[in-house]
Amino acid sequence: MELITQLLIAAMAAGTPLLFATLGGILVERSGIIQLGTEGLMLMGAVTAAMTFLATASLPLTVLMVLLVTGLMGAFHAFLTVTLRANQIVSGLAMTLFGAGLSAYLGKKITGIPLQGAVPKIDLGWLDPVPILGPVLGHLDVFTWASLVLVVLMTLYLYHTSWGLHLRAVGDNPATADVMGIRVQVFRYGCVILGSMLMGLGGANLLMVFSPTWIEGMTAGRGWIAIALIIFARWNPLYALAAAYFFGLLDSLGFRLQLAGSPIPPYFLKMIPYLLTIAVLIFVGWRTKHKLSGSPMALGVPYIREQRF
């Protein structure tokens, strides 16, 4: 019992940054746009959070700054890919390289300074007697709760509202959505910006909760893992929750083995999430070889209204 609870806590702690980024990715890709800048956005989210919090010690202000910065970056990606119809892959790569460079540049002065007492926990101690889940849910921080609320909201939004139906139509068949009076470009801008903000929050979460010290390149590929998780989760927010925690669990397992003095060198334990990502993608590819992957059908295809048929 005790062990399961502990593992769950560890999985959630390591999985929540991934969850934010994956949810952001799902939102962006549901609108038919690919955003490969996740890694760069997470880094920018993290460095912005570190700088703002060190300067102001205010959590709301920190979150606001993160949303502002990554929202702006998202808007730029949207401008390039939606309005200018630039190559979405290259634009995303540029965002990752740019984010990595800028975050390293900005964060030089605060490297290695730990943040203290950054994120309050919501104490629901009365839940403790509930087996397994009680102690887990009783002491979560606000970021984790926010991510859980987000999963619920996104599920409701996508599958139980008219706007969600519209978004699915935009991602699957923008031409149809357009003639039905749905503002395709507005949806795409909105989703890219909001999704990029969520990726930024993932980075902020990583920095403020999981490892509260800014180090250059601290996301260590989590942005790319989140992109793989989108595919694994079949563009569904609920599956994203499971997928992110599963990855979080394996990530923390490696760390625990290392602490426990495992004979396997730590470098190999650290490879686990990356190798697992590859394995998962191969598994999904093998399973969906002759089936639909659940991917939005117009993913990566720019939409232009005035087109000759």
Partner 1 sequence: MNQRGKFRLEIDPSGKESPWWVTVLAVVLAFGLVAVFIAATGKNPGAVYAKMLGGAFGTEFGLTETLVKAIPLMLCGLGVSLAYRIQVWNIGAEGQFVAGALAATAVTIYLPGLPFWIALPLMLTVGMLAGAVWGLFTALPKVLFNVNELIISLMLNYVALLALDFFVFGPWRDPAGMNFPGTRPFTAEESLPVLGATRLHFGLILGLLAVALAAAFVKTTRWGYELRLIGANPEAARHAGINIRGHIVVVMLLSGGLAGIAGMAEVSGVTHRLLYGISPGYGYTAIIVAWIARLNPFGIVVSAVLFGGLIVGGYSVQTLGLPSSISSLLQGSVLFFLIAGSILGKVRVRWN
Partner 2 sequence: MDETLAVDLRQITKQFGTTLANDHVNFQVRKGEIHALLGENGAGKSTVMCMLSGVYRPTSGEILLNGAVARIHSPKDAVKLGVGMVFQNFRLVPSLTAAENIVLGETHQVWRTKAWMARKTAEIEALATRFGLPFNAGRQVWQLSVGEQQRVEIVKTLYRGAELIILDEPTSVLTPGEADQLFVTLQQLRSEGKTVILTTHKLKEVMAVADRISVMRKGKMLATLDRSATDEREVARLMVGQDRQEPRPRKARLKGPTLLDMRNLVVIGDHGRHALEDFHMTIHEGEIVGIAGVAGNGQKELAEVLAGLRMWKSGTITFRDTKWKGASVRHSIESGISHVPENRMKSGLAGSLGSVDNLLVKSYRTPARSKMGFLRHAENRLWSQGLVEQFDVKTAHLDAPVHHMSGGNQQKLLFAREIHQRPHLMVAVHPSQGLDVGATDGVHNLLMTLRDEGKSVLLISEDLDELLLLSDRIVVLFGGRVMGEVTHDAADREHLGMMMAGVV
Q: Looking at residues 281 to 300 of the shown chain, list those that interact with partner 2 (rule: CB under 8 A).
A: 290, 297
Binding partner 2 (rule: CB under 8 A), the pick from 116, 162, 265, 267 is 162
Which amino acid does the sequence have at 110? Answer: I
d(CA 220, CA 222): 6
Binding partner 2 (rule: CB under 8 A), the pick from 60, 129, 181, 263 is 181
- When asked if residue 305 is in the footprint of partner 2 (CB under 8 A), the reply is yes
Binding partner 1 (rule: CB under 8 A), the pick from 5, 98, 164, 182 is 98
Nearest CA-CA partner of 28 in 204, 268, 240? 240
- Could you tell me which residues come within 8 angstroms of residue 159 by beta carbon, excluding any fewer than 6 positions away? none
Binding partner 2 (rule: CB under 8 A), the pick from 121, 166, 234, 256 is 166
- When asked if residue 129 is in the footprint of partner 2 (CB under 8 A), the reply is no
Stretch that binds partner 2, among 83-91, 113-121, 164-172, 263-271 (CB under 8 A): 164-172
Stretch that binds partner 1, among 46-54, 104-112, 170-178, 247-255 (CB under 8 A): 104-112
User: Do 294 and 29 meet the contact criterion of CB atoms below 8 Å apart?
Assistant: no
Q: How far is CA 59 from the centre of its chain?
A: 20
CA separation (Å) from 272 to 46, 221, 248, 258, 267?
A: 23, 12, 11, 12, 9
Q: Looking at residues 227 to 286 of the shown chain, list those that interact with partner 1 (rule: CB under 8 A).
A: 227-228, 231, 265, 267-268, 270-271, 274-275, 277-278, 281-282, 284-286
Torsion sign over Cα 253, 255, 261, 262: positive
CB of 144 to partner 1, least distance (A): 26
Q: Looking at residues 129 to 158 of the shown chain, list those that interact with partner 1 (rule: CB under 8 A).
A: none
Binding partner 2 (rule: CB under 8 A), the pick from 160, 263, 286, 289 is 160
User: Do 145 and 122 meet the contact criterion of CB atoms below 8 Å apart?
Assistant: yes
Name beta bridge partners: 121. Answer: 141
Which amino acid does the sequence have at 242? Answer: A
- When asked if residue 186 is in the footprint of partner 2 (CB under 8 A), the reply is no
Q: Looking at residues 171 to 210 of the shown chain, list those that interact with partner 1 (rule: CB under 8 A).
A: 185
Stretch that binds partner 1, among 47-55, 75-83, 136-144, 247-255 (CB under 8 A): 75-83
What stretches of 216-265 show up as alpha helix (H) in DSSP?
Answer: 222-232, 237-259
- When asked if residue 102 is in the footprint of partner 1 (CB under 8 A), the reply is yes
User: How open is the CA angle 204-29-26, to the nearest 5 degrees?
Assistant: 50
Residue 186 interaction partner, one of partner 1, partner 2, none, beta carbon < 5-8 Å per kind: none
Buried b (16+ CB within 10 A) or exposed e, 230-252: bbbbbbbbebbbebbbbbbbbbb
Collapsing DSSP states into helix, strand and coil, what is residue 121?
A: strand
Binding partner 2 (rule: CB under 8 A), the pick from 75, 102, 111, 172 is 172
> Which residues in this chain contact partner 1 in the complex, by CB under 8 A?
36, 40, 76, 80, 83-87, 89-91, 93-102, 104-106, 108, 185, 216, 220-221, 224-225, 227-228, 231, 265, 267-268, 270-271, 274-275, 277-278, 281-282, 284-286, 289, 304-306
> Which residues in this chain contact partner 2 in the complex, by CB under 8 A?
160-166, 168-169, 172-173, 175-182, 290, 297, 305-306, 308-309
